[in-house]
């Protein structure tokens, strides 16, 4: 199935919470021995947005070298804005870096699957590597049953939430709270001069995260293969009750005052201002944002990450994504060393170290994983595997997600109906 870009750029480009924008990309992991018959130096390319990003990537290379004496990983920081086209040109021209940052799936210049189809990236067959890729992420990193890259970590697409502030006004929401119970508390938050959630309703990205997170429970929870069924025309957006429920639920939240005044026309500055002033208890974003905010606040604020509760009677599932990662060139003169570097990235030890640095969840997190404190509330769901992948990474084009997000705004303003939005998404799918 084709996959589209719905990762870093579309979910995070807007993130200007009162701290920093952009995620760190780095990591480290368990090592493997390298064959002396091939060169023991490889290159690792990435596009760091700032000095912090660069330090994180460099730290990944250094950690690998520390566990593999005699090995050298030379890092190369490429301009961020042109990174995708630069990498694609080099890969197609046969002079790619030995290893480089890539996106899972398809839909953008640096996506792994198109490279794999053309034989341009290294096939990875070490069981110690392939077995570590989360099941929900395998379609992003495999082609024809073969593996061609590894994710750098896992993120929850849900709510960044100030639990201490919420409890101080008598609002109690955790990972087990149903959407109905959340809606029932929105009036209490309003009475205290706050709202449960902030919504940047004029931005399709923020609306989209909310809609997809709800559909993760109402659509993909009951049918984890819904995207595959849609690709075969077995189901449609408009004909799936769970999609209707997800979008109707957003309207119920709006009508109950769960979002701040002016939410339909608000931009991301509403989240920035609302979070910094204590006017909103939570907002919708990828989970790494929580660590960024807490670090920037110098320990003066404590945040948690939560799923968006499902409607009463529907099981809540976590929406997780593993679409940022690393691949290796098929032209590398050190294929074993390159594969060991990727194996290092995906190992348990490395994933845990990576998560502490950037605020993510280790891939294949288990009951024994060393999760950051902000993930304590969802550890039971992780252990029970009550998770689904981030659905839009398997949609065939970007317009579906854009029209979903814009459609949410239209529903809230009365300019569109739920049925019209879903029918448009079906048309977009093609």
Which domains are seen in the chain, by residue range?
41-155+323-375 (3.40.190.10), 156-321+387-429 (3.40.190.10)
Strand segments, DSSP code E, in 21-163 are: 41-46, 72-77, 99-103, 142-143, 146-147, 149-151, 155-161
User: Is residue 32 very low, low, confident or very high in pLDDT (cuts 50, 70, 90)?
Assistant: very low
Question: Does residue 145 carry a pLDDT above 70?
Answer: yes
* Residue 283 CA: distances (Å) to CA of 101, 131, 157: 29, 34, 11
d(CA 392, CA 402): 10
Question: Does residue 345 carry a pLDDT above 70?
Answer: yes
Residue 324: the pLDDT is 86
d(CA 189, CA 280): 9
Residue 36: the pLDDT is 53
Residue 294 tokens, joined: 């807490």
Residue 31 tokens, joined: 């090592």
The stretch 284-293 carries a mean pLDDT of 86
d(CA 179, CA 177): 7
The pLDDT tens digits for 11-30 are: 444 343 333 222 222 223 33
With vertex at residue 329, the alpha carbon angle to CA 328 and CA 330, rounded to the nearest 5 degrees, is: 120
Pick the closest to residue 30 from 67, 71, 75, 69 (CA basis). Answer: 67
Mean model confidence pLDDT for the chain: 87
**Which span out of 8-22, 43-57, 159-173, 379-393 was modeled with the highest average pLDDT?**
159-173
Residue 107: the pLDDT is 67
Q: How many CA within 13 A on the CB side of residue 347?
A: 19
Q: What percent of the chain has pLDDT over 70?
A: 90
Residue 13: the pLDDT is 41
On whether the pTM is more than 0.85, the answer is: no
Better-predicted residue by pLDDT, 312 or 20? 312
Better-predicted residue by pLDDT, 104 or 25? 104
Element containing residue 408 per DSSP (H, E): helix 398-413
Better-predicted residue by pLDDT, 150 or 364? 150
């Amino acid at each position: 199935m084709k996959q589209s870009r719905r990762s870093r750029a579309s979910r995070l480009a807007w993130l200007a919470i009162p701290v920093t924008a952009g995620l760190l990309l780095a990591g480290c992991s368990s090592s493997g021995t390298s064959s002396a018959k091939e060169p023991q130096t490889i290159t690792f390319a990435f596009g760091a947005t700032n000095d912090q990003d660069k330090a994180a990537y460099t730290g990944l290379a250094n950690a690998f070298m520390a566990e593999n004496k005699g090995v050298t990983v030379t890092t190369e920081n490429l301009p961020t804005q042109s990174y995708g086209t630069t990498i694609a040109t080099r890969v197609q021209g046969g002079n790619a870096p030995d290893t480089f940052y890539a996106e899972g799936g398809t839909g953008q210049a640096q996506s792994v699957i198109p490279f794999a189809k053309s034989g341009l990236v290294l096939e990875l067959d070490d069981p110690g590597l392939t077995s570590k890729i989360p099941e929900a992420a395998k379609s992003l990193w495999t082609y024809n049953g073969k593996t061609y890259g590894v994710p750098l970590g896992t993120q929850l697409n849900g709510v960044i939430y100030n639990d201490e502030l919420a409890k101080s006004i008598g609002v109690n929401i955790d990972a087990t709270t149903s959407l109905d119970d959340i809606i029932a508390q929105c009036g209490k938050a309003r009475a205290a001069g706050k709202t449960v959630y902030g919504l940047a309703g004029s931005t399709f990205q923020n609306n989209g995260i909310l809609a997809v997170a709800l559909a993760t429970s109402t659509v993909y929870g009951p049918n984890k293969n819904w995207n595959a069924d849609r690709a075969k025309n077995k189901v449609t957006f408009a004909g799936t009750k769970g999609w209707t429920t997800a979008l109707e639920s957003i309207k119920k939240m709006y009508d109950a005052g769960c979002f701040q005044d002016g939410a339909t026309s608000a931009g991301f500055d509403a989240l920035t201002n609302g979070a910094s002033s204590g006017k909103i208890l939570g907002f919708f974003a990828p989970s790494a944002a929580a660590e960024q905010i807490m670090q920037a606040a110098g320990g003066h604020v404590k945040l948690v990450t939560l799923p968006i509760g499902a409607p009463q009677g529907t099981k809540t599932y976590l929406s997780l994504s593993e679409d940022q990662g690393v691949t290796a060139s098929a032209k590398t003169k050190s294929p074993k060393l390159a594969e060991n570097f990727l194996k290092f990235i995906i190992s348990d030890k490395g994933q845990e170290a990576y998560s502490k640095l950037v605020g993510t969840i280790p891939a294949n997190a288990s009951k024994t994983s060393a999760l950051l404190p902000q993930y304590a509330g969802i550890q039971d769901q992780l252990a029970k595997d009550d998770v689904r992948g981030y659905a839009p990474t398997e949609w065939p084009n970007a317009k579906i997600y854009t029209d979903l997000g814009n459609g949410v705004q239209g529903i809230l303003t009365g300019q569109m109906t739920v049925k019209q939005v879903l029918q448009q998404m079906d048309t977009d799918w093609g």
